[in-house]
Amino acid sequence: MDKQEATEIGHYGVIGGVVKPVSRAKLSFAQPGVLLKVPEEGQMIKKGWLVAQQDDRQAQIALAEAEAALENARLAIETAEHEKSKTDRLLKEKIVAPIALTEANFDLKKAQAQLKIAQAGHVAAKLKLKQCKLIAPFKGVIVEVFGNIGEQSGPGNPVAEIVDLSRLEISVDIPLNATNNLKPGIQTAILSGTKKVGKAEVKVVLPLLDPASGLRRVIFRVIDADEMLTGRHVTLAPWN
């Protein structure tokens, strides 16, 4: 950055913002249920790990019933196909009237429709059982737990909050003329007061201006940190 640009930035004050995690989520179940397992605050979680679980006994029963209904529907298809084949043969031998074949075809179509219903019910039952488990969408640390074992849980009632502290960013609003030379990849120091506490890199320069302030939003990615920065307000050193 040249001297004029540095002066212009200084005219608008110190540029900085709050360091925030890129990924942060409050996790809740998609269906009502009683909690059987909850995480602990401070627990490190990897993507795909089990975070919390609901009582799934009813879901297990529903899945068993759906599997039985699916098997019954498949047997009904086999029966209907057998009856149609037999009716075809009897019709050729002129033992039954043509209406018998029409009825056999109708029974087969009805059995095929019932099979589709049973298949959909089986998929729904498997999903309901799967939704009894709360799986981590990304790696991180559990920063807060809202539910306890034995309590009711469900949509809109978070059980825990997970934060990925390994990926941090800083969003700042900068005067337009100070963003002329900014582009992804440019690096600068992160400061706490006058102390350097890390390094940031431009992630994206948004191609929009705030109509009220005339400022442009720039998002910096934290690429190195000497201290715990999450939640802290920091400033950015002039960049080259």
Indicate the domain borders of the chain.
3-22+167-236, 24-54+134-163, 57-130
Instruction: Report the CATH architecture of 24-54+134-163.
Output: Beta Barrel (2.40)
Q: What's 3-22+167-236's CATH class?
A: mainly beta
pLDDT of residue 13: 52
Count CA within 13 A, CB hemisphere, residue 57.
4
CATH of span 57-130? 1.10.287
* Range scoring the smallest mean pLDDT among 11-20, 33-42, 62-71: 11-20
Query: Which pLDDT tens digit goes with each residue over 104-116?
Result: 999 999 999 999 9
Query: Which pLDDT tens digit goes with each residue over 57-67?
Result: 999 999 999 99
